[in-house]
Amino acid sequence: MKKCSLILSLVFVLVAGLFTGCGSKATEGSDTDAKEVKIGLNYELTGGVASYGEASAKGIMMAFDEINAAGGIDGMKIVPVKVDNKSDAAEATSLATRLMTQEGVVACLGPATSGNFMATIPVAMGNKVPIISASATADEGVTTDKNGTVNDYVFRLCFNDSFQGVTMANFASNNLEAKKAVIIQDKSSDYAEGLAKNFVKTFEAAGGTIVAKVGYVTKDKDFNSILTSIKGKDFDVIFLPGYYQEAGLVIKQARELGIDAPILGADGFDSPVLLELAGTSALNNVYFSNHYSSLDQDPMVQNFIKAYKEKYGEEPNAFNALGYDLGKYIADSIQRAGSTDPTAIKEALASTENFAGVTGSFSMGKDHNPIKSIVVIGLKDGVQSTSVKVDPK
């Protein structure tokens, strides 16, 4: 009997332990007893566009550090799970799956670029975990599908390429009084294609003429042939939609050939590498649309710049600022949701109104795009010298 009783007692303990274990797991993810909340960071930390991913992640981590130092989100510590997608869409997709199905994150931030971010959308929709990018600007396939249906679990914190293309065309026409333009674009980039399309449409509608359109592909380094083909043409401005890796070299080689017309671009210009590639003297009469300017005297902007320089020992760029806002935004949404449930967080993200950020205040539109302003920055010897803020219509 004693042996039987002992066996029964052991069985009871084991069964009780199983139920206790299940109870602990459930409690761990509950809204009231959770001690931490995991948030994924899926960024380009190495590879071709690492400058954007690294900058975004730095801003996010700064925001998380500040929030945790102040007590976290309703007492919950933010635990970032940071991964490197190596600037590769397939890797970004694989890592998104891991973060959502194995790491237990309640939301994923990033990737930084449109193509890599879009690759993770099916994973987010399938697992019902919200993803947010602060810099995926592509017009189509981000927050809505090809039929215009909103992707419930997908959000962005930036304006899209249409707004940038339209803004730079209007800036060329109104601020620079340009009548003739040349387009030099990355033919292999959806980002560049969207910008060029909207620039051309708006510039021509204002009475302007596109004198020539020439192209290159990502990773090209010698642009002398296409620059020589436009050198003898009559034009007032060059619109150069693309990323800093090629844009820096295009600008340098254009100036070396004696092409001194204003060169316009978009947020893809915003990287310290642009200055490294182009050189100081080439970066005059260069303008680009962006999410933020260090010239903005708003106390929130200046306080951010001071804190960032103290933390990292360098000047912040727009991707740092966007990342910072993204970190604050997801924390604010989790707090407003009053829950770590991804669906509740998604609803809070969608219902955001008048969120005050370093890159501007915004409310989230029904299409999961923020309604916010844009800045056009002018460079002098590679340094920001002017900024013009353009509010959304």
pLDDT tens for 335-369 read: 999 999 999 999 999 999 999 999 999 999 999 99
Query: Which pLDDT tens digit goes with each residue over 304-329?
Result: 999 999 999 999 999 999 999 999 99
Between residues 263 and 18, the one the model is more confident about: 263
Nearest to 316 by CA among 332, 334, 296: 296
pLDDT computed for residue 389 by the predictor:
84
Which CATH code fits 36-159+297-372?
A: 3.40.50.2300
Lowest mean pLDDT among 156-160, 181-185, 190-194, 274-278: 190-194
pLDDT computed for residue 10 by the predictor:
35
Which CATH code fits 162-290?
A: 3.40.50.2300
Region 14-35: what's the mean pLDDT?
41
Give the domain ranges of the chain.
Answer: 36-159+297-372, 162-290
Q: How many whole angstroms separate alpha carbon 309 and alpha carbon 321?
A: 12
pLDDT computed for residue 326 by the predictor:
98
pLDDT computed for residue 146 by the predictor:
86
Query: Strand runs (DSSP E) across the chain, as ranges?
Result: 36-43, 77-84, 108-109, 131-133, 154-156, 180-186, 209-216, 237-239, 263-265, 286-290, 363-364, 370-371, 374-380, 383-390
Are both 36-159+297-372 and 162-290 of the same fold? yes
- Write out the two tokens for 31: 């809204």
Residue 11: pLDDT above 60?
no
Query: Which pLDDT tens digit goes with each residue over 214-259?
Result: 999 999 999 999 999 999 999 999 999 999 999 999 999 999 999 9
Lowest mean pLDDT among 30-34, 88-92, 184-188, 220-224: 30-34
Region 40-68: what's the mean pLDDT?
97
Tell me the CB-side half-sphere exposure of residue 314, using CA atoms within 13 A: 11
Q: What whole-number percentage of the chain has pLDDT above 70?
A: 91
Query: Which pLDDT tens digit goes with each residue over 113-128?
Result: 999 999 999 999 999 9
Residues 354, 363: contact at Cβ < 8 Å?
yes
